[in-house]
Amino acid sequence: MTPDQYLKNYIDGKLVPPQSGQYLDNVNPATAEIYSYLPDSEAADIESAVVAAEKAFPGWSKTSLQERSRLLSRISEIIGQNLTAFAEAESIDAGKPVSMATTIDIPRAQENFKFFATAILHFSSEAHHMVGQAINFTLRQPIGIVGCISPWNLPLYLFTWKIAPALAAGNCVVAKPSEVTPMTAYMLSKACIEAGLPAGVLNIVHGLGPKAGQPIIEHPKIKAISFTGGTETGRRIAAVAAPMFKKLSLELGGKNPNIIFADCDFEEMMKVTLRSSFANSGQICLCGSRILVERSIYDKFKAELVKRTESLVVGNPAADETDLGALVSQAHLEKVSAYIRLAKEEGGTILCGGERVPMTGDFKNGYFLRPTVVEGLSYDCRVNQEEIFGPVVTIMPFDTEEEALSYANSTRYGLSATVWTKDITRVNRMSEKLEAGVIWINCWLLRDLRTPFGGVKNSGVGREGGLEALRFFTAPKNICMKY
Ligand code: NAD
């Protein structure tokens, strides 16, 4: 399962070059050097993928659940057998520590296939009896051809989180990974070929959003779109897909509060807060970037957070001791750096970090940024309202539960929220009132794949996970039979 220098599209069961013959540069963010090339695909490549998917659909939708399950399990096994190769490729492509790709990204991609390989065996539909008159039963049929589009922050993890349930439910898929991190999706194509997935069932087309993604959204034969990415992209996708009455699942941006009460388990909270602030360099949609702290422990928390943040190791993604690797791209480094400048303009104080890490040798041009803690900002300034998506957190004191809630709910986003407290009645009050689709109490990123996942407000519409995903990727049809 080797990474290659020239990546190919996976269409109709074969690895093929883009029809235009054009390629895009793929940059290693830790060295800022081009190390491979990906297809610069366009509408013609998407058309070939749709033709292949259309040809495959009658067979795949009638394939027994046991056989679909067997094939998805086999893909999962192949990913597991090639864990190291996948993890190293993910690290080079995204700049993230190999240790993270080895323990989180790739095992989760493997788990996604395994989970839906078995979930489909237990997915059932309802019957509704009208006593003495009729029986209703509901078929859950695959939709047909569906589009799956994913971002760069958790490349294979999020790509497979969509593809696995779509395939399990009997759909054929046209999928596009992020152009910023295409390598493991390319390796997945090889895994599917090795597993014997029938031609055309899954098609993976690489390229830019407007050029290769947009034709997926616009294609009249693609009936559902599962998208994860930025809120503005989601808005553009909805503007095209909604008038075509496509089924839409949009998992978008976040600006998540991490709310810390004085009665929490301080040590556990500190340990997890360091992760929820800076894991994957803060490039996880669920990171808690606004930290709200009850005033009585604010000074103690601040001193401890700054001390622990300064001890994080930023550097070579391949080294075992590295906590934070490089940011994913130069454009993203510039975006995050601009927000750090804005934080100062808005009256904030940079308590630690705030600048690039001076590196030497191979990494001297890499996109490394020190993890940054900012205080002294108002809850409604731009830095506290807009998604930064980097290793930057703000800290703010609060006096009452009501104040914490109003700060927490003040953004246009509503993806996740974390609460640290031992008071169970407060947990209930807060959980009810927090405007978010995912709430963590005294933990963070603890995921059971059966639970619904998604946001409210501008963080998206629809839910992924467990049966929610299988419901999204099927169309219910009620059949009413009179006695
Ligand atoms: P992005 O919106 O720029 O791109 C996401 C994907 O959409 C890429 O594959 C891109 O090529 C494609 N795309 C772009 N324009 C398109 C168009 N017009 N038509 C079709 N496809 C198009 O997002 P990104 O920068 O890759 O990822 C970061 C964002 O993703 C952040 O906002 C983050 O919060 C969000 N995210 C959300 C979740 C979640 O579950 N809610 C998870 C991870 C990341």
Predicted local distance difference test score (pLDDT) of residue 220: 98
Residue nearest to atom 20 of ligand 1 (CA): 213
Please report, rounded to a whole number, the percentage of residues in the chain having pLDDT higher than 90. Answer: 99
Q: Quick check: 12 and 52 in contact, CB under 8 A?
A: yes
Using the atom order of ligand 1, give the atom closest to the CA of residue 179: 11
Q: Where are the alpha helices (DSSP H) in 201-297?
A: 214-218, 231-241, 266-278
In 30-171 the beta strands, taken as DSSP E runs, fall at: 33-39, 127-130, 134-142, 145-149
Predicted local distance difference test score (pLDDT) of residue 305: 98
Known catalytic residue: 468? no
Both tokens of 253, joined, read 């941006």
Identify which of 178, 231, 284, 453 to mutate to test ligand 1's pocket (most ligand atoms within 8 A of the CB).
178
Distance 423 CA to ligand 1 centre (A): 37
From residue 259, how far is each of 296, 297, 325, 399, 408 by CA, in Å? 14, 12, 27, 12, 8
Q: Which of 150, 402, 421, 408 is nearest to 255 (CA)?
A: 408
Rounded mean pLDDT, 331-345: 98
Identify which of 112, 149, 208, 387 to mutate to test ligand 1's pocket (most ligand atoms within 8 A of the CB).
149
Would the pLDDT of 409 be above 80?
yes
Residue nearest to atom 37 of ligand 1 (CA): 252
Predicted local distance difference test score (pLDDT) of residue 279: 98
Burial class from Cβ neighbours inside 10 Å (0-12, 13-18, 19+) for residue 348 reads buried
User: How far is Cα of residue 123 from the mean position of the Cα atoms in its chain?
Assistant: 24
Q: Quick check: 322 and 97 in contact, CB under 8 A?
A: yes
Distance 305 CA to ligand 1 centre (A): 30
* Mean per-residue pLDDT over the chain, rounded: 98
Q: Where are the alpha helices (DSSP H) in 409-460?
A: 424-433
Instruction: Sort residue 445 into left (φ over 0), alpha (ψ -120 to 50) or beta.
Output: left
* Ligand 1 site residues, Cβ closer than 6 angstroms: 149-153, 158, 176, 178-179, 208-210, 213-214, 217, 228-230, 233, 236-237, 251-254, 285, 387, 389, 415, 455, 459-460
Given pLDDT bands bounded at 50, 70 and 90, which one contains residue 1?
Answer: confident
Tens of pLDDT along 437-447? 999 999 999 99
Would the pLDDT of 396 be above 90?
yes
Predicted local distance difference test score (pLDDT) of residue 44: 98
- Amino acid, single-letter form, for residue 458: N
Known catalytic residue: 285? yes
Distance 200 CA to ligand 1 centre (A): 25
Would the pLDDT of 93 be above 90?
yes
Would the pLDDT of 352 be above 80?
yes
Using the atom order of ligand 1, give the atom closest to the CA of residue 176: 9
**Sign (positive/negative) of CA torsion 313, 444, 391, 349?**
negative
Rounded mean pLDDT, 74-94: 98
Instruction: Sort residue 51 into left (φ over 0), alpha (ψ -120 to 50) or beta.
Output: alpha
Residue nearest to atom 22 of ligand 1 (CA): 209
Contacts of 47 (CB under 8 A, 6+ apart): 215, 219
Distance 149 CA to ligand 1 centre (A): 8
Rounded mean pLDDT, 25-39: 98
Alpha-carbon gap, residue 150 to 251, rounded angstroms: 9
Distance 470 CA to ligand 1 centre (A): 22
The domains located in the chain, with CATH, are 9-252+459-482 (3.40.605.10), 257-447 (3.40.309.10)
Marked catalytic residue, from 111, 179, 251, 387: 251
Distance 233 CA to ligand 1 centre (A): 6
Marked catalytic residue, from 42, 285, 375, 435: 285
From residue 102, how far is each of 85, 91, 97, 98, 329 by CA, in Å? 9, 9, 9, 6, 21
Burial class from Cβ neighbours inside 10 Å (0-12, 13-18, 19+) for residue 156 reads buried
Using the atom order of ligand 1, give the atom closest to the CA of residue 253: 34
Q: Which of 155, 176, 168, 158 is nearest to 222 (CA)?
A: 176
Predicted local distance difference test score (pLDDT) of residue 2: 77
Predicted local distance difference test score (pLDDT) of residue 136: 98
Both tokens of 50, joined, read 């749709």
Q: What's 249's DSSP letter?
A: E
